A and B are shown apart, each in its own frame.
Chain A
Amino acid sequence: MEREGDGEKERKSIAEYRALLDQVNTKVEEKQYSEEVLALTSRLLKKNPEYYTIWNYRRLILLNHFARDVTTTLEHDSTPLTLSKSTNDIIVGDLQFIVPLLIQYPKCYWIWNYRLWLLEEAEKQVDKGTTVRLWKDELALVGKMLDRDERNFHGWGYRRNIVSQLERLAEPEQKTMAEQEFAYTSKMMRAALQNFSALHYRLKLIPKLLDERQADGAARRKMLDEELESMQEALIDPFNQSAWFYHQYLMSTLSEDCPRDAAIVLDLSRDDRIHYYEQEVERIKEMLEDFDDCKWIYEALVQYSIEYHQLTDIKPKNDLQFWLDELQRLDPMRSGRWKDLREALKL
């Protein structure tokens, strides 16, 4: 319950906060889009970055400035309701203001949103070289954010966004950033093998990367083999869920239904598919020698055997029965799922 001594402090915080809020509300209502009001919104947002309407006020102040900036340079008319700094300084200053907030509140949607909006608006105000430089700085910033929390999905989404902006702004003869981003996911994987966010991004990059390398059939197979190999290495710890899900991702590219823009090897024959399934199932079976208590192994065996069966019509009935029994034993909390599976397989 409320600590007695803190009551006074709490009252003071509330009074200060509400007074500041009143002040901002009044000035924005009066359309006072000045530097002073911008500073007041900064103070308020530092206290409460979730207050989305205040971020919108900031947008209004900046938009007003951008709109007037053009007229003032044309007419040399000094309007009191605008910002005195140059457009460039304002953009850079605003970007700097947000960084500590982002670090303190990395999961706040409104901050990420505002930053993206600001950069998109900035593009209309500055030359292309500056725009590109601004986006490149963002890549460094989001790299730092992801070092702090390698699973922050805001950060990964922001990263994808920056990359697509930079690719849009690139000269036609320039390559995409797929190669560079692929290397980034390798770095993140080395730091933490359980980083599914990095693995997810990696799988989305591979088809693009191969297209850009103009990879032939052999190079594409090599890529798939290397990725499968690296997951086998990651699965030295068979309790690594991320590695299993990535393995499942890779296997899904073997399917005939895999869309072209998600495929790794483009000319897979039925025999190739059979080969890959046999190879992976064999490798996973070998894991059982060291781990007979890891349900993930049985789950993978069941899933891949079903897919193998669809390819070949070979039914590993006895094995399936045994693996499902083991799943039921090791993972009784999901017994409803194993029961449904058993029924679907008519076991």
Chain B
Amino acid sequence: MALVSGPGRGGSGGGHTLPEELHLYIDKHVHYIQTLDTRKDEYEYWLTEHLRLNGLYWGLTALHLLGRPDVLKREEVLDFVFSCMHEDGGFGAAPGHDAHMLYTASAVQILATLDAFGDLETRVCGGRMRIGQFIASLQDRKTGTIHGDKYGEPDTRFIACAFMALSLLCLLPIINVPLSIRYIQSCANPDGGYGSSPGAESHSGQIFACLSALSIANALRTVNTDRLAGWLSERQITSGPGVGGLNGRPEKKEDVCYSWWVLSSLAMLSRRHWVDGEALKRFILSCQDEVNGGISDRPGDMVDVFHTVFGVAGLSLLGYEGLEEVDPVYCMPRSITRRILGK
């Protein structure tokens, strides 16, 4: 699944005024995702190869939430996923790309969504354990932090990737979970939020990652809940053209992807009602390209599959009618995480 953006723009950027009563163009978005991989005549298709496996996870998840789980052919998806797998159990973005935590997490999420852990064992001998060991090898056993690959800097995002993937594989105990939790706690700030490493400023993307990891490890009691939820609720823009949308940090612009990270974080803290859900719904719906499908970061910008899945997931979390329920911890269909985790 390519991340090539456009061709359309979200909302009024296309030149047409939006209808008074907004709704979700489900069929258009399904078609948009379905045709992403046919756009090989666009330069951007090739420039975004380093995101292909993530893109597949985003597209597949969006389709499931939109109620069309069978649009992509299962075997074709699996062929592609396994073609990205390395000997050491890690996954790259596309065949020939190096293994990295970001793509390994996406691969596991796709396999989970397609109920394909059996296929994993059939196609790759000891596949499940191999993936687990790749992830475990990236944990720093002194600090608990987790690296993206053998070269890169650690980042709280990778703790979330590791926890998500390992818990779906039922392998969480192979890493030192309490140590990683302590590391996350060392990244907490007086505003209740978390940064990418100790000392770093709070940032909604990192907060989502930390809360997701803490939720998986059953350690949300360590969060300064009301302080953090207050900070998160202040991310909602209450006036001007972006009204209803959420931003990632104080004084930044609203964006559909941050809307997901903030909203899902609030949901994990049981404080989803601390922002105006109806206004956020209107903001996300106003970012759709109602002609060609797809959702953009904010009205007037090019649509892409990344903002499409987070827009749809946000609407799902807001209880938008006709959508499958999303799991705020994993950004996957809730029915699937319930099947695997049994809770």
Interface residues of A (CB under 8 A from B): 1-2, 7, 10-11, 13-14, 17-18, 25, 47-48, 50-53, 56, 59, 113, 116-117, 151, 153, 156-157, 160, 194, 196-197, 200-201, 203-204, 241-242, 245, 248-249, 252-253, 262, 331-337, 340
Partner of A160, one of B47, B92, B199: B199
Identify the closest chain A residue to B190 (Cβ): A252
| Smallest beta-carbon distance B23→chain A, Å | 22
Whether B317 sits at the interface, judged by CB under 8 Å, is: no
Contacts of A196 in B (CB 8 A): 201, 249-251
CB–CB A25/B96 < 8 A:
yes
Docked Cα-Cα span, A45 to B51, in Å, equals: 16
- A2 neighbours in B (Cβ, 8 Å): 7, 41-42
Tell me the bound Cα distance from A306 to B256 in angstroms.
34
Q: Are A113 and B151 in contact (CB under 8 A)?
A: yes
Given contacts A157-B196, A334-B233, contact A203 B190 (CB under 8 A): yes
Could you jot down 14 A-B contacts, CB within 8 Å? A2-B42, A13-B43, A51-B50, A153-B201, A153-B203, A153-B249, A156-B200, A157-B200, A200-B202, A248-B190, A248-B191, A336-B273, A336-B275, A337-B271
CB distance from A262 to the nearest CB of B (A): 8
CA distance A337 to B225 in the complex (A): 12
Q: How far in angstroms is the closest Cβ of chain A from B251?
A: 5
Interface string of B220-251 (1 = CB under 8 A from A): 00000000011101101010000010000111
Q: In the complex, A262→B238 CA distance in Å?
A: 33
Tell me the interface secondary structure of chain B in the complex.
Answer: loop
The minimal Cβ–Cβ distance linking A46 to chain B, given in whole angstroms, is 12
Q: Quick check: is B49 within 8 A (CB to CB) of the other chain? A: yes
Question: Which residues does chain A contribute within 8 Å of B271, judged by CB atoms?
Answer: 336-337, 340
| B274 lies within 8 A of chain A by Cβ | yes
A252 to B252, CA, bound (A): 24
Q: Which of A117, A203, A335 contacts B151 (CB 8 A)?
A: A117
Question: How far, in angstroms, from A334 to B232 measured CA to CA in the complex?
Answer: 11
Distance in Å: Cβ of B87 to nearest Cβ of chain A: 15
Q: How far is the CA of A160 from the CA of B197 in the complex (A)?
A: 10
Contact of B140 with A by CB under 8 A: no
B100 within 8 A of A: yes
- Specify which of B49, B92, B189, B201 lies most central, judged by the most chain A CB atoms within 10 Å of its CB: B201
Which B residues are within 8 Å of any A CB, using their own CB? 7, 41-43, 46-51, 92-93, 96-98, 100, 151-153, 189-191, 195-197, 199-203, 229-231, 233-234, 236, 238, 244, 249-252, 271, 273-276, 279
Determine if B46 and A337 form an interchain contact, defined as CB atoms under 8 angstroms apart: no
Given contacts A56-B98, A194-B251, A203-B190, contact A333 B200 (CB under 8 A): no
Set of chain A residues within 8 Å of B195, measured between Cβ atoms: 153
Q: Bound complex: CA of A57 vs CA of B271, how far in Å? A: 46
- B249 CB contacts on chain A under 8 angstroms: 151, 153, 196
Looking at the assembled complex, report how far the CB atom of B144 sits from the nearest CB atom of chain A, in whole angstroms.
Answer: 18
**A6, closest chain B residue (CB):** B43
Query: What's the minimum C-beta distance from B60 to chain A, rounded to whole angstroms?
Result: 22
Q: How far is the CA of A169 from the CA of B280 in the complex (A)?
A: 49
* A333/B236 in contact, CB under 8 A: yes
* A32 CB → nearest B CB, Å: 17
Distance between Cα atoms of A242 and B201 in the complex (Å): 12
Quick check: B97 and A331 within 8 Å, CB to CB?
no
Closest 7 CB pairs of A and B: A336-B273, A333-B276, A252-B190, A337-B274, A241-B250, A200-B201, A53-B98
Residues in A whose Cβ lies below 8 Å from that of B238: 331, 333
List, in ascending order, chain B residues with CB within 8 A of A47's CB. 47
* Interface pair A52/B46, CB less than 8 Å apart: no
Interchain CB contact under 8 A, B50 and A151: no
- State whether A52 touches B100 (Cβ < 8 A): yes
Residue in A closest to B6 when the chains form the complex, CB atoms = A1
- Do the beta carbons of A245 and B191 come within 8 Å of each other? yes
B49 to chain A minimum Cβ distance, whole angstroms, is 7
**Residues from chain B with Cβ under 8 Å of A242 in the complex:** 250-251
Q: Which residues of B contact A204 (CB under 8 A)?
A: 199
Alpha-carbon distance A2/B4, docked complex (angstroms): 13
Q: Enumerate chain B residues within 8 angstroms of A52, measured Cβ to Cβ.
A: 50, 93, 97-98, 100
- Closest residue of chain A to B231, judged by CB? A245
Is the CB–CB distance between B96 and A53 below 8 Å?
yes
| Shortest Cβ distance from A50 into B: residue | B50
- A151 near B252 with CB under 8 A, answer yes
How many angstroms between the C-alpha atoms of A29 and B152 in the bound complex?
22
Bound state CA distance, A203 and B202, in angstroms?
13
Specify the chain B residue showing the minimal Cβ separation from A335. Answer: B276
B251 lies within 8 A of A116 (CB): no
- Asked whether, in the complex, the Cβ of A53 is within 8 Å of the Cβ of B97, the reply is yes
Known A51-B49, A333-B275, A336-B273; 14 more pairs at CB < 8 Å: A10-B41, A14-B43, A25-B96, A52-B97, A59-B151, A153-B196, A157-B197, A200-B189, A200-B201, A241-B234, A241-B250, A333-B279, A336-B275, A337-B233
Residues of A within 8 A of B279 (CB): 333
Expressed in whole angstroms, the Cα–Cα distance for A238 and B79 within the complex equals: 57
By beta carbon, the residue of chain B nearest A242 is B250
Alpha-carbon separation in the docked complex, A17 to B51 (Å): 17
Interface contact A160-B43, CB-CB below 8 Å: no
Residues of B with C-beta under 8 A to A153: 195-196, 200-201, 203, 249
Given known A-B contacts A17-B46, A51-B49, A56 and B151 have beta carbons under 8 A apart:
yes
A50 to B274, CA, bound (A): 37
Partner among A25, A253, A340 whose Cβ is within 8 Å of the Cβ of B274: A340
Bound CA–CA A241/B273 (angstroms)? 22
Please determine whether A14 and B46 come into contact, CB atoms closer than 8 angstroms. Answer: yes
A168 to chain B, nearest CB (A): 15
**Which A residues are CB-close (under 8 A) to B201?**
153, 156, 196-197, 200-201
Q: Among A200, A245, A334, which residue has its beta carbon within 8 angstroms of that of B276?
A: A334
**Judging by beta carbons under 8 Å apart, are A334 and B275 in contact?**
yes
* A250 to B249 Cα, complex, angstroms: 19
